[in-house]
Structure 1
C-alpha cells in the first residue's frame, strides 16, 4: 500500500472511548504494525497520552475537589488540558516548519534522530474525549495548520470498560467511568461534517488495521482547509448548536419558567394565568431561535455544553429569556 506525497505530512488523530477501552493498546499496535510494513517505514507516531501528561493522581484530585465544591476545580482542569493543547499546537507548527530543535519535542518525548527527510507524522491524541467540544477544538487546530484530521472511536459499553479497567496497573475509579459513560457523546459524522472521517471499532485487539490505515492515508491526502468565508463558519456553528444544544436549552428554560412563575406567585404582583402564558411564550420564542440557529451563542458555548461552560450557557439563556418577557 503506497501513500500519496500530496496533501500534508501530518494527521491529528483523536482517539476516544471510556477508560479501559484499549486506546493506548491500539496506539502501540498501530505503531508496531507500521514498523513491519516497508510502505510505511517513513511514518512516525507521536503518542500524546493525556493520562501521562495529566497523571491519574492529579485527575483524581480534580474529581475529589469537585465533589467538595471547590470553585476553581473546573478552571484548574481546563488549564491542565489547555497546556496539552498549546503544546500540540506548537508541535504541529514545528513539524510543518521543520524546526526540530524546539523544547516541545522533549515535552512529547520525541527524539530528533528519529525524524527523517521524508517523515510523515501521525499524532495520536489519546484521551477519553467524551464531550464533542473536546474533539472539535483539535479539528479547529487541524484547520488552523491545514493538516489532516480524523477520529478513532473504540465503542465499548460500561460493563466491558469496568472489567478491562480492573486489569490496569493504574485503575480509574468506577464512579468516574460511570459518570463519563452517562455524559459520553459518540461521534455523529452524518450530522457533523467535521467528524468525518471517523474509524469505529468495538475492540483494540480485533481492529481492522488495513481499514484504519486507509483512513489515515485518506486524511493525510485531504487536509482540513481554512474557511474562506467567515460567515459560513458562523452559520455552521449556529446549526451545530441548534442540533446539539437545543435539548439542554429546552430543559433549562422549562425549569426557569417554573421558577419564574413560583416567584411571581409569592409576590402576587400579576395575574397568575396571564403571566404564566406570557412566561411560556417567552420560552417558546427563545427555543424557536435556538432551533432555527438564529440565536448566536458565544463561541465558548456554541458547540457543546459541558461542566466547564454550563454556567455561561444558563446565564446567556436567562438574559435572552428576560428580553422576551
Structure 2
C-alpha cells in the first residue's frame, strides 16, 4: 500500500489546519488524507508554569508520535491490531476519532498522514523522518512561509488565540526546512507563500507522490554506529558548555544579589538555594529533559547563545518551584 507522512511546519495562524481540512475534502482525489492535528490531540497544558506540566506536555507529544508509528505499522501490515496509545495529556475522544478514520480507509487509495504542528525545530521533524525511514514510507515537509504579521492577524481571529509573545518566540525559533545543506533528509520540501488552496494542493500532491516513489531507508548497522558516535560527541560537548553556562549564571545571580542585600545570612541562604538549582538543572539536562540537538547550528557546531538562553529559562523555572 502506498503510504506517506507529510509534516506541516509553520507559525500558528499560517493556514496549516485550513489546508489540511481542504485536502481532506478534495473531490476525485486518489489520496486519502488523515489529519493528525496536535492542537486537537494535545490537552491544554500551561507548560510555562511548572516542570511537571512541561514533562506532561513532552510525554503527550511523544504519545502522539507513538500513535502515528502504530498507524503506519498497521497500514503496512493489516494483520496488526490497531489500538490507540492513551496518555493523560492526549484527548481520548480526538485520538479515538483519528483511529476510527484510519479503519475506514480504501486500500486502493494513497494514504497520507498530515502532521499538523508548528514543528519549528529540525529535531521535531527528524523524529518523523526516522520513523518513515524505519518503516520505508514516504516523507515530505510543507513549510508555510507566511509573514509573522499576517500570522499575528490571523491568530486574533482564532477561537482560542495564543499569546502574541509565544507566537513571536516560535518565529525566532523557526529552523527553516531545507535551509541546512547538511540535512540531506529534508529533501522533499514544499514552500508555500500564499493561502491559495488550489495552487497549494497541486504542488503538494506532486511532492507527496514523489516522496512515495523514493521513501527514505534506514541506515545499516555500520552507519548507525557512526551516527551514534557523532551524537554522543555532540551530547558531551553540550553538557560541557551547559555546565559552563550554569556556573556563569550562578555567579551573575550571586553578584546581583550582593548588590541588593548586606546580610551575610540572607546571602548564605540564597547561595544554598542556587546550588540546589544548579544540581537540579544539570540533572535534568543529563537525563535528556532538553533535546541537545536543537542547539546545533547549520554548520554542525553548538549555538552557545541559544544554550545559555534556554538554561537561563530553565534555572528560573526551577528557582520558582523551590521558593
- TM-score computed with the length of structure 1 as normaliser: 0.66
CA distance in 2, matches of 1:86, 1:225: 19
Unmatched runs of 5 consecutive residues or more in structure 1: 1-7, 263-297, 315-325
- Higher mean Cα deviation, 138-147 or 249-258? 249-258
CA distance in 1, matches of 2:136, 2:250: 48
SS in 2 for 1:117: coil
SS in 1 for 2:6: strand
**Runs of 4+ with >4 A deviation:** 248-262
Q: Check if 1:75 corresponds to 2:65.
A: no
Residue 164 to residue 133, structure 1, CA distance change in 2 (3 Å): same
Deviation, structure 1 residue 103:
3.2
- 8 A contact 1:154–1:204 mirrored in 2: no
- 8 A contact 1:10–1:121 mirrored in 2: yes
Deviation, structure 1 residue 77:
1.4
Map of 2:69 onto structure 1: 89
- Note the 1:273-288 alignment, pairs <5 A: none
- 8 A contact 1:17–1:129 mirrored in 2: yes
- Higher mean Cα deviation, 85-94 or 101-110? 101-110
Aligned-residue RMSD, C-alpha: 3.7
Cα deviation digits, residues 168-225 of structure 1 (max 9, x gap)? 1221121210111121111125331111111101123254332221100001111111
Map of 1:54 onto structure 2: 42
Cα deviation digits, residues 210-248 of structure 1 (max 9, x gap)? 222110000111111121243356349839x97xx99x8
- TM-score computed with the length of structure 2 as normaliser: 0.67
Deviation, structure 1 residue 120:
1.7
Deviation, structure 1 residue 157:
2.3
CA distance in 2, matches of 1:153, 1:237: 31
Aligned length: 254
CA distance in 2, matches of 1:76, 1:23: 25
Q: Check if 1:117 corresponds to 2:107.
A: yes
Map of 1:222 onto structure 2: 214
Residue 231 to residue 202, structure 1, CA distance change in 2 (3 Å): same
Map of 1:147 onto structure 2: 137
Cα deviation digits, residues 249-305 of structure 1 (max 9, x gap)? 99868757968999xxxxxxxxxxxxxxxxxxxxxxxxxxxxxxxxxxx9x856323
Residue 233 to residue 46, structure 1, CA distance change in 2 (3 Å): farther
- Note the 1:1-325 alignment, pairs <5 A: 9-33=2-26, 35-37=27-29, 40=30, 43-55=31-43, 58-59=44-45, 61-63=46-48, 65=49, 70-99=50-79, 102-104=82-84, 106=96, 108-111=98-101, 114-187=104-177, 188=179, 190-205=181-196, 207-231=199-223, 234-235=226-227, 238=230, 255=245, 301=291, 303-305=293-295
